[in-house]
Structure 1
Amino acid sequence: MQRRLLAAGPHSGAASLATSVEAELEALIARGELGPGQHINELALARRLGVSRGPVREAARALERMGLVTVILNRGAFVRELEIDEALAIYDLTALLIGYAAGRLATSITAAQALELQTFVTEMEAAAQDGRHDAFFDLNVRFHKRQFTFAGNAPVEEVYLAHTRKLLLLRRRSFDESSNMQQSNAEHRDVMDAILSGDPETARQVAERHARSGRARFLRAIAYRQT
């Protein structure tokens, strides 16, 4: 199905188009439509999006800088194959970052912010019950991103996003089972309870425990066995 992207205006059109193509390519990777190791066909994608090959090539290079794509001279662009050891290292790092954000929120969260995060939890519960894996995954990503935004430390949020973006290559597998979605969201409720308790140390510990549980779900999902 072709999806035509339109530029925003005469002055910002080129930049807007490049950004739109980049977002579309990232979404294809996140949804698994382009899997690890798969060649990114510039011509086919350009036709699908209704653009020339130039913006597609620029998007691939941008995603290469993000760690999602590998560009090989004379062969083209490929979705990156993330090594398991690197993925586990990212999980270890994000556990610390998620704990940090939760701890900050415990002493600063507003009623409006709490309501928004609780709404995510409610929507994830419905998605888990209905078996809507893609919806759950997207809500989960947004739930954690908003915590970092609300925590108010832009450099930490930037580090978190830069590293967790790479996990898009593998992380969706963690929610293939409905039981994994339900368990993950039960932990989200625990994190929210800890944040709302106002105790930063408790919030940090509960959030880090959630991240470590996510790491364990990831390992089970890919049937990985450490030697």
Structure 2
Amino acid sequence: MSDKESIESLEEHSLTDLIQREIEGMLVRGELVAGSRINEKRLAENLKVSRAPVREVTRALEQIGLVEIIRNRGVFVRNVNLKDVVAIFDIRMALARLAATEAARRMTAVSAKALGGLLERMDAASSAEEYLPLNLEFHRQIFLLSDNPRLAQLEISLSKELRLYRLRGLRSGNSMNTSKEEHREILAALIDHNPELAGRLFEQHILAGRDRFLSTVDRQEPPPPKRRGRPRKNPA
């Protein structure tokens, strides 16, 4: 069932969620490109909904950094260049290593059960659009486990700017299954209370996410040099 058909049925998802998924899909498919104006009236007509929920969704998309609203001009797809995207991924790599290192020291049975439940839901996800929110929540829980509110807030802020690019990467090839396996390895290290391994695996997971995105980009110039994570070691 397509998103448009789902919007008409409204059986499983809220109206705003479905509209947001449709707009994000248009961005990923290239139907809306960076710098282009989103015509809220036309979009509402195409989706057979009123303008109010479309307006609500564009405000939400502004909050997560996908669009910008310019007064008296309208809503425009935000233009984020490749260099900025790579820089954000690289910052997140460092944050992820620190977060998982601390989380492994504070891991509890309750936290392990919660993260395991998220993994089960990710395994059941049939699309990147369904998988990504669960993926984001898995990451958020690890940052919260670090017991460092500033660190968690930095991750939340940076992740908002990468939502579209992470979605694009997850749609590529076998990326979603690879991501699931990486999450399992991270959780195992957390449960084992192995800070060094958990930190390294989470850092490498962010690096892999960056590379998954870069593999989808049609560049006219060589990509920025890839930073390699530290060599993986088998835990003692």
| TM-score between both structures, scaled by the size of structure 1 | 0.75
Q: Structure 1 vs Structure 2: percent identity of aligned residues? A: 30
Q: 1:168 offset after TM fit, Å?
A: 1.5
How far, CA to CA, are the matches of 1:148 and 1:68 in structure 2? 23
Change (3 A) 1:3 1:72: farther
1:115 maps to a residue whose letter is: K
Q: Which amino acid aligns with 1:149?
A: L
Matched residue SS, 1:170: helix
Alpha-carbon spacing, 1:79–1:186, altered in 2? closer, same or farther (3 Å): same
Alignment of 1:1-80 (within 5 A): 1=7, 27-28=20-21, 31-33=24-26, 35-37=32-34, 38-43=36-41, 48=49, 51=52, 56=55, 60=59, 64=62, 66-72=64-70, 74-80=72-78
Q: State yes or no: 1:226 paired with 2:219.
A: no
Deviation per residue, 1:70-109 (Å, 9 max, x gap): 2345431112122111111110011111111111110111
How well do the aligned residues superpose, as a CA RMSD in angstroms? 3.2
Deviation of the 1:220 alpha carbon: 0.7
Aligned partners of 1:137 and 1:36: how far apart in 2?
A: 21
Distance 1:143 1:58, change over 3 A: closer
The aligned amino acid for 1:184 is S
Structure with more of its chain in helix, by fraction: 1
Partner of 1:192: 187
8 Å Cα contact 2:24-2:164 kept in structure 1: no
Q: What is aligned with 2:212?
A: 217
2:107 is equivalent to residue 112 of structure 1: no
Q: Distance in 1 between matches of 2:123 and 2:173?
A: 11
Amino acid at match of 1:191: I
Structure 1 distance, partners of 2:19, 2:84, is 20
SS at match of 2:52: coil
Partner of residue 228, structure 2 = none
Aligned partners of 1:206, 1:39: CA distance in 2, in Å? Answer: 40
Q: Structure 2: which 5+ residue stretches go unaligned?
A: 1-6, 225-236
- Say whether residues 1:153 and 2:154 are aligned partners: no
Shift of 1:45: 6.4
3-state DSSP class of the match of 1:51?
helix
Relative to structure 1, is the Cα distance of residues 205 and 26 closer, same or farther in structure 2, using a 3 angstrom cutoff?
A: farther
Q: Is the 8 A contact 1:187 1:210 kept in 2?
A: yes
C-alpha deviation, 1:197, in angstroms: 1.9
- Which residue of 1 is the match for residue 3 of structure 2? none
- The equivalent residue for 2:170 is 175
Q: Mind listing any 5+ residue stretches in structure 1 that lack a counterpart?
A: 5-19
- The number of residues matched between the two structures is 205
The 1:67–1:109 alpha-carbon spacing in structure 2 relative to 1, beyond 3 Å, is same
